[in-house]
Amino acid sequence: MSEPLLMVRAPSRLHFGMFSFGVPTLRQFGGAGVMIDEPALELRISAAEKDEFLGPNQQRLRQAVVQVRATSWGRDLPPLKVETIVSPRSHTGLGSGTQTALAVVAGLRKFLNLPPLGALELAQVAGRAKRSAVGLYGFLHGGLIVEAGRLPHDGVAPLAAQVELPETWRFVLICPREQQGLSGEPERAAFADLPAVPQSLTDQLCRIALLDLVPAARSGDFAGFSEALYHFGHAAGQCFKSHQAGVYATDELAMLVARVRALGVAGVGQSSWGPTLFTVHPSVLAAEQFIASCQAWPDAARYDVTVAAPNRGGASFHSIE
């Protein structure tokens, strides 16, 4: 009989921006984002004679397995072969590090035929959601995610809203091929150095997220969602101007946003620190027409362009006996 094999597929995360940081009396971080089906992370987990970690992100795979073995339920974990079949490019604003860690931990629970972990324990074992919890809740549920931010006693920020986007909508990602966003120690240093977000800006961001983005998503109001998405991202970018070229990470990204808006596409923003920009479209046809317009740009070869459906349901697991 062949050894059991588990396939894990996790979506990518687009992060629209954070609500607050630097004001001790307010919840820290918080924010909004959405999960998309492409580019996906796919892992393969199977038993082995000794631990093997293959494909991209081997160190992340190894670290996640080490963290599982430190738990009471993971102490008797057998030697494993964990392989990344496909993964988004790291440090481009798609949350691949978080999704990899969560996929390994949740995948090993499934591999051992144990019940799924809740959000708090999953985050603790994976060592994630210490700032943003969008990727955590997105991994579990998919859809549009709004999380409230953390108070000192919170193990993980509470989920404020989760909404499934209409199946017909599409996101188009535009990513400069030679750039990457902040991560690791440079990102930690940036957060330590960023000025506190004014409460008036936090109030504006919370209002747009909860009174514009979420209701528009629930009702399928594409025009309302698109405008709210742009205005939320533009306001959120104000929080990071001291460590970016302005509202966006680089002058090039700001130029691309202007190009997109000039084409009549309202919903555009930067995911996390970038360099990925995203646009939203009401249908596959609209997305394809937009891509055709992008391909006419004189510098179109500089960018990777990806079409993605909204993710519904979060990560998926498939066992093969």
Kindly report, residue by residue over 13-59, the tens digit of the pLDDT. Answer: 999 999 999 999 999 999 999 999 999 999 999 999 999 999 999 99
DSSP for 89-108, please give it.
PTTSSS-HHHHHHHHHHHHH
Please state the pTM of the whole predicted model. 0.96
Domain 5-320 has CATH 3.30.230.120: yes
Nearest of 30, 31, 35 to residue 14 by alpha carbon:
35
The residues facing 277 across adjacent strands are 174, 270
Distance CA 19, CA 238 (A): 11
Q: Is the pLDDT of residue 76 over 80?
A: yes
**How confident is the model over 74-102, as a mean pLDDT?**
96
Angle at 96 between CA 91 and CA 102, to 5 degrees: 145
Would you place residue 2 in the very low, low, confident or very high pLDDT band (cuts 50, 70, 90)?
Answer: low
C-alpha to C-alpha distances, 133 to 33, 154, 253, nearest whole angstrom: 10, 12, 25
Tell me how far apart the alpha carbons of residues 169 and 211 are, in angstroms, rounded to a whole number: 20
**Considering only CA atoms, which of 276, 272, 263 is closest in space to residue 303?**
276
pLDDT of residue 182: 87
Q: Which tens digits make up the pLDDT trace of 228-280?
A: 999 999 999 999 999 999 999 999 999 999 999 999 999 999 999 999 999 99
Look at residue 189 in the predicted model and tell me its pLDDT.
93
For residue 2, the 8-state DSSP code is: P
Residue 82 scores a pLDDT above 80: yes
Count of positions (residues) in the chain: 321
**Tokens, residue 89:** 């490019």
Q: What is the pLDDT of residue 163?
A: 98
**What pLDDT shows up at residue 178?**
87
For residue 189, give the 3-state DSSP assignment.
Answer: helix
pLDDT of residue 1: 41
Q: What angle do CA 229, 118, 16 make, to 5 degrees?
A: 15
pLDDT tens digits, 269-311: 999 999 999 999 999 999 999 999 999 999 999 999 999 999 9
**Cα 219 vs. chain centroid, distance in angstroms?**
23
pLDDT surpasses 80 at 196: yes
Return d(Cα 202, Cα 31) in angstroms, integer: 10
First to last CA, the chain: 8
241 backbone dihedrals φ, ψ, rounded to 5°: -60, -30
Closest CA to 35 of 259, 315, 300: 315
Determine the Cα–Cα distance for residues 294 and 177; give it in Å rounded to an integer. Answer: 15
Query: Would you state the pLDDT for residue 320?
Result: 85
Tokens of 71: 């738990």
The predicted-structure confidence for 91-149, as pLDDT tens digits, reads as follows 999 999 999 999 999 999 999 999 999 999 999 999 999 999 999 999 999 999 999 99
CA atoms of 305 and 299, how far apart (whole Å): 13
